[in-house]
Amino acid sequence: MNDQTQQFASDNYSGICSEAWAAMEQANQGHQRAYGDDQWTARAADEFRRLFETDCEVFFAFNGTAANSLALSSLCQSYHSVICSETAHVETDECGAPEFFSNGSKLLTARTEMGKLTPQAIREVALKRQDIHYPKPRVVTLTQATEVGSVYRPEELRAISATCKELGLNLHMDGARFANACAFLGCSPAELTWKAGVDVLCFGGTKNGMAVGEAILFFNHDLAEDFDYRCKQAGQLASKMRFLSAPWVGLLENDAWLKHAGHANHCAQLLKALVEGIPGVELMFPVEANGVFLQMPEPALEALRAKGWRFYTFIGSGGARFMCSWDTEEARVRELAADIHTVMRA
């Protein structure tokens, strides 16, 4: 199996979708002003405002780590804390970046149900201690879709937002796979963000057909004060910003973002359907986005690796994650399912 064969380890393995590629090619014609003062960046920001049905502040960063970390740092001071799930990417996979960019804001982990925070869990952490010796809770961050592929419903988000308002907490959403959540629920982006009480969204493009680039949307304008300075200081102000923003125009203007996310979700549902009922294979979490989490014996996982399949097993012994992408081919899904059948019969 060569390195160009489609794999299921991560949706970061996939290439650039045609819409993003075409927009970058168009942006490559002639000269444009630098540092975001160009027509493509203005156009992309307007597309976001159209899509979200509100006059939000829009910024662009190179990657999700920077987007999340800078967004969180704008919501709290160094003596504050950020409540997140125990599986949150900001807690497990961002190398201390949220703490670094906030000058030390502490992450406090809360228990989850199927990867999702609940009002009760948030309340338990926020009210655990209220003395001056403990970092003061100021932000809740949740991931949509979650790290285990579950999706927050609008009513769940509204309940969390109500709890945040009661406790004086800002609400941040890590939307690395926000498009997949929208596609699964059939809800508008507005319904899953500001209409449900979300203050800031980091909208992921890299996992949905872009080469690089995430968008940070502030629905509360006051929280965006001086955010452009944060981006510059953190090395996130692209001199040729149009190449970060133009792909978003390609994704957003004809709803390619939703089409691609829907396809990835469909392939995950197909994989789920093909492996359900195989003796010894258990579904670990509901399949609601573009990931399928399977519990399998370690010898079977090793046999799959020996056949050339790549996947992650960072979620515990015997747990394997298979991610589908915007360009995943159904035939490839069927090949994987067939090999899972084979190794489980061995």
Size of the chain in residues = 346
Q: In the structure, what pLDDT confidence band is assigned to residue 341 with cuts at 50, 70 and 90? A: very high
In order of 60, 119, 301, 320, 321, the CA distances from 271 in angstroms are: 34, 33, 16, 13, 12
Q: In the structure, what pLDDT confidence band is assigned to residue 11 with cuts at 50, 70 and 90? A: very high
And the tokens for 111?
Answer: 């228990």
For residues 173 and 316, give the distance between their C-alpha atoms in angstroms, rounded to a whole number: 25
pLDDT digits (tens, 9 = 90+) for 132-145: 999 999 999 999 99
Smallest CA-to-CA distance from 27 within 184, 287, 241 is with 241
Q: What average pLDDT does the structure give for the chain? A: 95
Residue 219, class by beta-carbon neighbours within 10 Å (0-12 exposed, 13-18 middle, 19+ buried)?
buried
Kindly state the average pLDDT of the residues 29-40. Answer: 95
- For residue 25, the model assigns a pLDDT of 96
Q: Are 198 and 142 in contact (CB under 8 A)?
A: no
Asked if pLDDT for residue 317 goes beyond 70, the answer is no
**Token pair 């970061």 in the structure block, residue:** 12
- For residue 209, the model assigns a pLDDT of 95
pLDDT digits (tens, 9 = 90+) for 207-254: 999 999 999 999 999 999 999 999 999 999 999 999 999 999 999 999
DSSP-derived secondary structure letter, 297: -
Smallest CA-to-CA distance from 144 within 84, 57, 227, 71 is with 84
DSSP output for 147-192? TTS----HHHHHHHHHHHHHHT-EEEEEETTHHHHHHHHT--TTTT
3 state DSSP class of 108: strand
Asked if pLDDT for residue 315 goes beyond 90, the answer is no
Asked if pLDDT for residue 306 goes beyond 90, the answer is yes
- For residue 346, the model assigns a pLDDT of 77
Q: What percent of the chain has pLDDT over 90?
A: 92
Q: In the structure, what pLDDT confidence band is assigned to residue 37 with cuts at 50, 70 and 90? A: very high
* Distance, C-alpha 146 to centroid of its chain: 8
pLDDT digits (tens, 9 = 90+) for 159-185: 999 999 999 999 999 999 999 999 999
Smallest CA-to-CA distance from 171 within 144, 208, 211, 135 is with 144
Entry pTM: 0.95
pLDDT digits (tens, 9 = 90+) for 244-293: 999 999 999 999 999 999 999 999 999 999 999 999 999 999 999 999 99
Asked if pLDDT for residue 189 goes beyond 70, the answer is yes
Q: Are 154 and 192 in contact (CB under 8 A)?
A: yes
In order of 44, 63, 153, the CA distances from 145 in angstroms are: 23, 17, 10
Asked if pLDDT for residue 64 goes beyond 90, the answer is yes
- For residue 316, the model assigns a pLDDT of 58
- For residue 3, the model assigns a pLDDT of 66
CB atoms within 10 A of CB 275: 22
Left (φ > 0), alpha (ψ -120 to 50) or beta: where does 309 sit? beta
pLDDT digits (tens, 9 = 90+) for 73-99: 999 999 999 999 998 989 988 899 989
* Distance, C-alpha 312 to centroid of its chain: 17
- For residue 255, the model assigns a pLDDT of 96
